[in-house]
Amino acid sequence: MKPESIQHIAFIMDGNGRWATARGMDRSKGHRAGMEALERIVMACSERKLPYISFYAFSTENWKRPAREIRAIFLLMEYFFRRRMKDLASQNIRILISGDWSALPTRSREIAARCIRETAQCTGTTVNLCMNYGGQMEIRRACALWAARCQQSGEFSIPDESEMQELLYSGLPDVDLMIRTGGDHRVSNFLLYQMAYAELFFSDIAWPDFSPGDLDSILQQFENRDRRLGGLSLAAQSAAQ
């Protein structure tokens, strides 16, 4: 089942730590279970032929966490790329990464770059993993890139929509549907520019427990949302004529 109007879904995969703590386990075990949920949801999105999916894996603010937890998160990412690279390619899934890679451990950067290369020709679902990503940083970076271009050409202008897409990390279409698990109702600096007209869904389910069935239920609810995008609903439009 796939609502035809969905191009881009963004997931804030939250609740890993609390999931583990509630079970008397170390937070890193929650991230491990979260990685398995990521694998399941990536495959489910591919089976449902959803075109673009972004996953918030590590934010520019997550550096505030203990070094041990940060190390565990990067090790799991490396493990995901290494273990899943072949499956992703055989499922025709293309991998992109958004964020400032330069601060990531060398091994994480190398394996992520390999995964991007090996899946570059895939034409099915595009999976955009956001690592050391922050929406404010992405917009500030875009401003700096544009300012440099204006300086070079000697002309000042405001970027149009397609120029702006080029200035952002991934150039993906705007987000139609944002799903945050873990019970909190905020966007935590995720895809701020791209979420201008996203439908927002907040689930109390912790990310490690989020299932393809939960995704289907949200997709069904999404279909009933009246996305006016600043215009009028069909009913109001025909009444006004």
CA distance 230 to 211: 33
Separation CA 135–CA 112 (nearest Å) = 21
Q: Which of residues 17-36 bind ligand IPE (CB under 6 A)?
A: 17-18
Applying CB under 6 A, the site for ligand IPE has a residue count of: 17
φ, ψ at 88 (rounded to 5°): -60, -50
The strand ranges marked E within 197-239 are 199-202
For Mg ion, give the closer residue by CB, 15 or 99: 15
**Residue 182 lies near ligand IPE (rule: CB under 6 A):** yes
Does position 179 interact with ligand IPE (CB under 6 A)? The reply is no
Binding mask 56-95 toward ligand IPE (x if CB under 6 A, else -) reads: xxxx--x----------x----------------------
Non-local (6+) Cβ contacts of 142 within 8 A are 159, 164, 167, 168, 193
Does position 104 interact with ligand IPE (CB under 6 A)? The reply is no
Count of C-beta atoms within a 10 Å radius of residue 64: 8
Q: Is 224 a catalytic residue?
A: no
Give the closest residue to 51 by CA, choosing from 109, 119, 128, 137: 128
Active-site annotation holds for 62: yes
For Mg ion, the closer of residues 14 and 176 by Cβ is: 14
Nearest to 9 by CA among 168, 128, 89, 95: 128
Tell me the per-residue interface mask from 8 to 27 with Mg ion, x by CB under 5 A, - otherwise: ------x-------------
CA distance 43 to 17: 23
Amino acid at 1: M
The closest of 186, 170, 167, 168 to 178, measured between CA atoms, is 186
The stretch near ligand IPE (CB under 6 A) out of 9-17, 146-154, 170-178, 224-232 is: 9-17
Catalytic residue, from 62, 174, 189, 209: name it: 62
| In the complex, minimum distance from the CB of residue 12 to Mg ion, in angstroms, rounded to a whole number | 9
Q: Which is nearer to Mg ion, 14 or 199 (CB)?
A: 14
- In 161-211, which residue ranges form alpha helices assigned H by DSSP? 161-167
Among 6, 8, 15, 84, the residue binding ligand IPE under the rule CB under 6 A is 15
Residues with Cβ within 8 Å of residue 161, at least 6 apart in sequence: none
Of positions 12, 50, 93, 167, contacts ligand IPE by CB under 6 A? 12
Query: Which one of 45-53, 180-188, 196-204, 232-240 is the stretch in contact with ligand IPE (CB under 6 A)?
Result: 180-188
Query: For residue 205, which amino acid is it?
Result: I
Least distance in angstroms from the C-beta of 187 to ligand IPE: 9
Residues that bind ligand IPE (CB under 6 A): 12-18, 56-59, 62, 73, 182, 184, 186, 188
Active site residue ranges: 14, 62
